[in-house]
Copies of this chain bind each other. A is one copy, B any other.
Amino acid sequence: MDITIIGAGKLATNLGVELKEKGFHIKEVFSRTARSANRLAELLNCAKTTSFKQINKDSDLYIIALKDDAFLDALPKICNERKDAIFLHTSGSLLMSSFAPYANRFGVLYPMQTFSIDKLLSFSDIPIFIDANDEDSLNTIKSIATSISKKVYHLNDTDRKYLHIAAIFACNFSNYCYSVAQELLENRSIPFEVILPLIDETAKKVHKMSAIEAQTGPAARKDTKIIESHIQLLESNKALQSLYKEMSAQIINKLEQHNDND
């Protein structure tokens, strides 16, 4: 099976390397910039192009790992004159049906993980959520997904969208909280590394108990004196102050509802 990868970012890089390692044949890579196309083509030992028009027309599978914003614009150019191929996107939020006007066989392969360009991950424990518009394509996509991960789930567009929002809270927003912590520490010349054991333990805890049960801190204790004093201390940074207020209020509310239900 010949695979073309459209995109050369974090996900395209990690997925491309993993597929190659598992014995799939990557025929070509597309990126808008020559630099990214060269980098990934070298990693995958395959052809490359920076022009939508020049992407080969005879791959069996086209995996699209572009930014969501770029995807809809690129879609007609990618699917054009390739009516026998299967097209996949890799996004948590794009509808599978976006392909419908342009392709006969299509689906989704969404690996739920946060990737880096320089730190390649093994996919074996990464949950992959798949979907397809027909049984045959679903089986093809499933066999690709299960060859790289032990955790493959069939999920429809709506569920995958909620899953993506959950991922944004669990990853992007918790990482933003880390970045606030880093800013606060660096402003006092305290090294960020002192907070890593706390970050690690917070992540570990939810393996053993539900997140609501794992909740600690002044808001969980309804310690209003401390909360007020922190809000005062953040007076010079309105954005962080507002986030501190909002988060604390929501934690207090959520725990009250949780305890009422016990």
A93 within 8 A of B: yes
Copies of this polypeptide in the complex = 2
Chain B residues with CB below 8 A from A185, complex form: 162-163, 166
Chain B residues with CB below 8 A from A199, complex form: 170-171, 174, 203, 206
Q: Are A175 and B69 in contact (CB under 8 A)?
A: no
Chain B residues with CB below 8 A from A203, complex form: 199-200, 202-203
A120 within 8 A of B: no
**In the complex, A203 Cα to B140 Cα: how many Å?**
34
Q: Known: A178-B169, A239-B253. Is A127-B194 also a contact (CB below 8 A)?
A: yes
Please give the distance in Å from A188's CB to the nearest CB on chain B. 5
**In the complex, A239 Cα to B248 Cα: how many Å?**
12
Task: Pick 12 A–B contacts, CB within 8 A, sort by A.
Answer: A69-B223, A93-B229, A114-B201, A126-B197, A159-B188, A163-B185, A166-B184, A172-B216, A172-B220, A174-B178, A182-B210, A243-B247
A binding-site residues for B, Cβ under 8 Å:
10, 67-69, 93, 112-116, 119, 121, 125-127, 151, 153, 155, 159, 161-182, 184-185, 187-188, 190, 192, 194-203, 205-212, 214-221, 223-226, 229-230, 233-234, 239, 242-244, 246-247, 250-251, 253-254
